[in-house]
Amino acid sequence: MTPSTFALTVVADGFPLLTDVQPVPGQPSHLAVSVNGGTISWVSMDDGSRGEILRIPEIDESKEGILGFAFHPGFPGDDRIFVHYSVSESSLDLTRISSFHVSPGIPLGVADDETVVLQLDGALPNHNGGAIAFGPDGMLYAAFGDGGTDAAPTALSQDPLELWGKAVRLDIDRTTGTSAYGIPPGNPFVGRADHREEIFALGLRNPWRMSFAPDGALLIGDVGADGWEELDVARGGENFGWNEMEGAACWPLGAACNDAGMTPPLHAYEHGDAACITAGHVYQGSALPALDGLYVFADYERGTIWAFDLEGSAPPRVLLESERHLVTIARDEAGELYVGDIISGEILRLSAKGAVPAPK
């Protein structure tokens, strides 16, 4: 195999059980990082200084915790940060999206004033999804898992009156009735009594990370069960098949199924060793011109990082075998890419081999 021309360069460390990394809007040398145990902090890539942004005290370090977060696209003018997390309260497992106010500046101030935007009750402590991102249309997109476990998957992903196993699209700048959000009029099921109007796409198992293609399409990485990991493309109204299908195959594997109306993934790959897709971003930076316009994603278990032409027919190209547990991929305001290793607690920049590490 040709030696890789790419490498991972550590830019910050000391975040064990990190789950997500995001750029701090308007502060190009700062990243924000969440850890499973319930905190989000900022860190400077220039000098390694850091501080806490928010803490959710009822979270413990288990399969539950902070799953993902997103700054409002108007930040710091709109000072809200939106956090997707799961927690156990009164013996009930909850998955929740909440907003917090963050005092802008360097360093960022501590967030307060939690407002629960959307909450799903009754999940098992697994398959909660966690994908959350603002789209180019200014709407908040989030994706929930099927609410089950490997041993007890649910059929809720195919129930159009449930939000488990769905991607949703919310207008968080206006409210409807007692809701903390409005329903965008362009949502695919608006006005239909047989569907929740929040739903943007159906049939997901455990959607882990999502982003947007240059044409605005939503790119979702959905973690598989028995044999396949998949990358789905949603433009509104798609049904990606779980738990009738996994990837482009019937589920359980080898069974018969009805795939009528199901949308196959844009790309799927088989399990070899245990596998778990970590969705990424289209590269839009300048440091790695060979990746211009390519979608970069990874596998949590294998540590493989690939680049993929969303418009082409060629298979993804392996960029490097990192042997790391890559739980998230972030893109900064300059379009450069970073990954987070949940085990080592490091944030690393995707760079050319031989690049000089940034100071910490």
Per the CB < 8 A criterion, the answer to whether 85 and 96 are in contact is yes
CA pair distance 245, 227, nearest whole angstrom: 11
The pLDDT score that the predictor gives to residue 21 is 98
pLDDT tens digit sequence for 337-353: 999 999 999 999 999 98
Question: What pLDDT, on the 0 to 100 scale, is given for residue 109?
Answer: 73
- Tell me the pTM: 0.94
Low-confidence ranges of the chain (pLDDT < 70): 1-3, 60-64, 91, 106, 123, 125, 151-153, 273-274, 354-360
pLDDT 10s digits, 56-77: 877 765 556 999 999 999 999 9
Domains belonging to the chain, first-starting first, are 6-12+63-329 (2.120.10.30)
Residue type, 35: V
How far, CA to CA in Å, does 197 sit from each of 5, 180, 226, 339? 46, 14, 31, 34
- Contacting residues for 229 by C-beta, under 8 A, at least 6 apart: 221, 222, 223, 247, 268, 269, 271, 275, 276, 277, 299
